Structure 1
Amino acid sequence: MGRTYLVEEAIGQYLSDLTTKLKPYVTGLLIGQCSPQRDYVIRAVRTPPKEEQKEDNVSPAKLASLDEEWITTHASQVSRMLPGGLSVLGVFIIATPELSKDSQNALRRLIFSVEKSLTKRRLWKPSEEEVSDRAALQICSATKKVVCRTYDVQDPKSSAKPADWKYQSALSASWLALGCTVNVNIHIPLLATSPNHDLEKNTKNGLNRWSKQIEDSVFLINGQVKDEDTELLEGQKKSKGSIQSSTQFSDVKVLTQLSQGSSRRSTATVQVCSGSINLKGAVKCRAYVHNNKPKVKEAIQALKRDIINTLSDRCEILFEDLIINEGPQKKNFKRQYHVLPQRLFVPVAGSSVMLSDYKFGDEAAGEIQERFVEMLDQAVQAEDIHVAEEMSTDFCSYFRQMKMRFPSHRKTNDGTAASLWTSWLQKYVVISLQK
Structure 2
Amino acid sequence: MVRTVYSPEYCLQYLEQYASKEIFVIGLILGQKTGARENVIHLARTPDEKSSENSSETTFESDKLESKTLLNVSEAWVADHAKHVTRMLPGGMFVQGIFITSDEDIFEDPNSFSKVRSVVNHIHKVMSANQCMFGNCPLSNERLILHMSTSTKVLTCKSVEVGTPVKSTVIKPVEWKFLPKVQQWQRLDCYYEFDDVYPVIVKKSGISVKQQFQQILESAHKTIESSIMFIDGELKENTEVLEQILKKRKPKTHSKMQQQELPKSMNVSLFVPFENSLPESVEYLECDGSIHFSGVVSSSVFMYPKATVGETIAAVKQDIIRSLASRFTMHCDALIDDNLLPEEKVCFNEPPRRVLVPVGSLYLCDYLFPGEAPAEALLSVRELLDLQITEAEVVCDVETPADTSEFDALDKDTSSEELLATPQEASQFMYITGICFAMFVLIVSIIIHYYDAINEVFSKFVS
Normalising by structure 1, report the TM-score.
0.82
Tell me the residue number matched to 1:110.
Answer: 119
Q: Which entry has the higher C-alpha Rg, 1 or 2?
A: 2
CA–CA distance in structure 1, aligned partners of residues 136 and 310 of structure 2: 11
Tell me the residue number matched to 1:177.
Answer: 187
Match of 1:165 among 144, 168, 176: 176
Q: For residues 237-256 of structure 1, what are the structure 2 equivalents within 5 Å?
A: 237=250, 239-240=255-256, 243=259, 245=261, 247-256=263-272
Q: For residues 252-331 of structure 1, what are the structure 2 equivalents within 5 Å?
A: 252-260=268-276, 266-291=280-305, 293-322=306-335, 326-327=336-337
CA–CA distance in structure 2, aligned partners of residues 125 and 60 of structure 1: 31
Cα offset for 1:83? 1.2
Cα offset for 1:304? 0.9
Give the counterpart letter for 2:95 in structure 1: V
CA–CA distance in structure 2, aligned partners of residues 111 and 145 of structure 1: 22
Note if contact 1:108-1:136 (Cα within 8 Å) is conserved in structure 2.
Answer: no
Tell me the residue number matched to 1:422.
Answer: none
Tell me the residue number matched to 2:99.
Answer: 92
Query: Is residue 131 of structure 2 the alignment partner of residue 122 of structure 1?
Result: yes
Q: For residues 398-413 of structure 1, what are the structure 2 equivalents within 5 Å?
A: 410-412=411-413
1:135–1:239: structure 2 CA closer, same or farther, 3 Å change rule? farther
Tell me the residue number matched to 2:212.
Answer: 202
Query: Is residue 351 of structure 2 the alignment partner of residue 337 of structure 1?
Result: no
State the percentage of identical aligned residues: 26
CA–CA distance in structure 1, aligned partners of residues 339 and 279 of structure 2: 41
**Equivalenced residues, count:** 398
Larger relative strand fraction: 1
Q: Secondary structure at the match of 2:41?
A: strand
Q: Secondary structure at the match of 2:333?
A: helix
Note if contact 1:148-1:164 (Cα within 8 Å) is conserved in structure 2.
Answer: yes
Coordinate RMSD, CA, aligned:
3.2
With 376-385 and 266-275 compared, the bigger mean Cα shift is at 266-275
1:127–1:42: structure 2 CA closer, same or farther, 3 Å change rule? closer
Q: Secondary structure at the match of 1:267?
A: coil
Note if contact 2:368-2:376 (Cα within 8 Å) is conserved in structure 1.
Answer: no
Tell me the residue number matched to 1:2.
Answer: 2
CA–CA distance in structure 1, aligned partners of residues 22 and 391 of structure 2: 29
CA–CA distance in structure 2, aligned partners of residues 83 and 98 of structure 1: 34
Q: Secondary structure at the match of 1:49?
A: coil
Tell me the residue number matched to 2:35.
Answer: 36
Q: Secondary structure at the match of 2:357?
A: strand
CA–CA distance in structure 2, aligned partners of residues 369 and 295 of structure 1: 34
1:51-89: CA deviation from partner (whole Å, max 9, x where unpaired)? 459856625265332111111111111111111222111
1:356-401: CA deviation from partner (whole Å, max 9, x where unpaired)? 0110121123222111101111112111111111238xx68x89xx
1:109-152: CA deviation from partner (whole Å, max 9, x where unpaired)? 11111122222223277999723321111222111222211122
Tell me the residue number matched to 1:431.
Answer: none
Tell me the residue number matched to 2:55.
Answer: none
1:148–1:249: structure 2 CA closer, same or farther, 3 Å change rule? same
With 266-275 and 376-385 compared, the bigger mean Cα shift is at 266-275
1:170–1:86: structure 2 CA closer, same or farther, 3 Å change rule? farther
Normalising by structure 2, report the TM-score.
0.77
1:311–1:22: structure 2 CA closer, same or farther, 3 Å change rule? farther
1:194–1:147: structure 2 CA closer, same or farther, 3 Å change rule? farther
CA–CA distance in structure 1, aligned partners of residues 279 and 216 of structure 2: 21
1:89-118: CA deviation from partner (whole Å, max 9, x where unpaired)? 111111122766133222211111112222
Cα offset for 1:201? 2.0
CA–CA distance in structure 2, aligned partners of residues 358 and 347 of structure 1: 14
Give the counterpart letter for 1:164 in structure 2: E
1:15-44: CA deviation from partner (whole Å, max 9, x where unpaired)? 111235683x21100001011243111100
Note if contact 1:197-1:331 (Cα within 8 Å) is conserved in structure 2.
Answer: no
Q: Secondary structure at the match of 1:97?
A: coil
Larger relative helix fraction: 2
Structure 1 alignment gaps of length 5 or more: 416-433
1:98–1:118: structure 2 CA closer, same or farther, 3 Å change rule? closer
Q: Secondary structure at the match of 1:75?
A: helix
1:105–1:333: structure 2 CA closer, same or farther, 3 Å change rule? farther
Q: Secondary structure at the match of 1:33?
A: strand
CA–CA distance in structure 1, aligned partners of residues 281 and 415 of structure 2: 45
